[in-house]
Chains A and B, each alone.
Chain A
Amino acid sequence: MKNRKGQALLVVIIIMAVVMAVFANSLTTGIRSHSLTETEVYQREQALYLAETGVNRMIFNINNGATYNDGDSISGTVSGIGSYESIYHTPDDSGYGGSAYIESIGTVGEFSRKIFVSVQKGDGNEAFKYCLYTSQGGRDGINDDYFTNNIHGVNYRYNTQPDSSMPHPDMTQYGSHWQRGYYFVGSSAIYRPFEWNDNNKVVYIEARGSSPTTLTVDFQNYSSIKLSLATNATNVIIKNMNGSFQWRPADEYEGYTFPIITHSGTGEVEFDFNDFGNNWNETLELTGFIYTAGHIFMNYDATFWWIHIPISKGVISGEVMEGDPQGKLGGDDGTRTNINYVTTDYYANPPPFFPSAGNGKAKVFPGSFREEY
């Protein structure tokens, strides 16, 4: 009888052991699961920051000249943390009104988070896209150093945005500096600033004829002028510059420095040196910005390749500045050609009075952040 009681006790204890084991195991599993959950919380947070990193990196690239088309992407890996991939989408159909949106995925361990933000271009910044990015540099050709097919030097690069357009300046803002606006209807016109007494003025010449239109600026061999010219003509030809011509912008107005040319046409801004006197040491000195949606072209007769054309102190900004097609710009027998880029001030010194002039940079559209769960 007692033997049976001992067996019963043993059985009860074994059953208790099994029950306790199950209970203890579920308890520790729960605590381990809680611990794992905290790791997930960290990973999810970090995945979000990596997704944000991708967005910031893409906007940084855009503002530094990168051009992304629909579907283009960038990616990066952070050692010991995770990775991101950001994809550019255009148009922005999210309703936020951005010019594009960025989809960015941050991944840490097993966890990924996907976010979306709309991107807006900088207000009124279109003109800036035609600025030449340059540090101090340029080319200096002396003696037998020719600029064959490269008159730019090495310390520059262009910022080209294929979808951008140059807005018209708000000429009413130029105050007394705005002499008047001219227009022409046909395919071409000649503008003589000296004849029209436009020295030290900001002048807007509007081409109303069918494109392509050509505006010829005739300096009539005067030696210097202060003139800030804006035009939408397809092409601009600048001619009859005196052999030592100086072109400066109109005087500063309320702290604004004007460019010498703001050209929204897509053709050429042509400097015609064929009218130079074929003498040694002739000079052209440009002391202001040239903004153009087209490109700048230096035209001279190949037979006069020895003409000295120093564009000293000039700051030339254009979407495309072609190389020297004749390969003769430079120096020969003691002559010297100098094209000098001397500014890094692309954004702080923009063409003034463009509509809604802003800081000219792409940025996240406020409040457009959204996440896909």
Chain B
Amino acid sequence: MRLRKGTTLVEAVIAIALMALMALWALHLYSNAMVNASQANDMEIASHLASQKIEYLKTLDKDVLDNISTSSVTAFSSPYEKFGYKYIVPNTAPSGSVNPDDENGEYIKYIEVEIYLMSDTSKPLIKMGCDFLRDDDTGENLGL
């Protein structure tokens, strides 16, 4: 009879230990999931902000484009102040030619936009780049 009571106690202890392990594991999973969800959310916003910047650059006149150079990280305004952007103007364009290239009344410039979390400006969340083409004489956008 005593032996049976002792067995029940051991089973109960094992059950409690198992439940505790399950709870810890669930907590770990939950914590990871929250981090992943937060990162996914940041990526989604960063992607939209980068696209927004590229689309903005598409609207600029040649003279304004010409004045854009590699910048430092600048925070977006509210409600996206958590994020910052930075323009990169590489010395060479994708094809390896000089950047910007200004020949015979034709102007092309390759610009990259990097999006950062302002809490960590050491590494961009994402980077997008695009060529911008303008008629040097009229300023007209000849491309996309």
Contacts and interface: CB of A to CB of B under 8 A. Distances in A.
B8 A2 contact: yes
Interface stretch (A32-40, A206-214, A287-295, A319-327): A32-40
B11 A41 contact: no
Contacts of A52: 130-131, 143-144
Contact of A24 (B19, B29, B143): B29
Interface stretch (A74-82, A164-172, A175-183): A74-82
B98 to A, nearest CB: 12
A42 B144 contact: no
A364 B18 CA distance: 67
A303 interface: no
Contacts of A111: none
Contact of A57 (B32, B41, B108, B140): B108
Given A39-B43, A42-B47, A45-B47, A24 B142 contact: no
B131 A9 contact: no
A81 to B, nearest CB: 6
B131 A56 contact: yes
A158 interface: no
B4 A2 contact: yes
Given A49-B129, A60-B133, A81-B127, A13 B19 contact: yes
Given A28-B29, A78-B94, A56 B4 contact: no
B29 to A, nearest CB: 5
Interface residues on B, range: 35 or more
Contacts of A63: 104, 106, 142
Contacts of B96: 76
B101 A45 contact: no
Contacts of B63: none
B142 A35 contact: no
B144 A13 contact: no
Contacts of B36: 28, 31-32, 34-35
Interface stretch (A219-227, A275-283, A305-313, A355-363): A355-363
B137 interface: yes
Question: How big is the A interface, by class?
Answer: 35 or more
Interface in B105-140: 105-106, 108, 110, 112, 126-133, 135, 137-138, 140
Given A10-B14, A10-B15, A14-B18, A45 B128 contact: yes
Interface in A1-28: 2-3, 5-7, 9-10, 13-14, 16-17, 20-21, 24-25, 27-28
Interface of A: 2-3, 5-7, 9-10, 13-14, 16-17, 20-21, 24-25, 27-28, 31-32, 34-35, 37-39, 41-42, 45-46, 49-50, 52-53, 55-57, 59-60, 63-65, 74, 76-78, 80-81, 84, 117, 133, 344, 346-348, 359, 361-364, 369
Interface of B: 4-5, 7-8, 11-12, 14-15, 18-19, 22, 25-26, 29-30, 32-33, 36-37, 39-41, 43-44, 46-47, 50-51, 54, 93-96, 101, 103-106, 108, 110, 112, 126-133, 135, 137-138, 140, 142-144
List the 6 closest pairs (A to B, CB-CB), nearest first: A76-B94, A56-B143, A6-B11, A35-B40, A363-B142, A53-B131
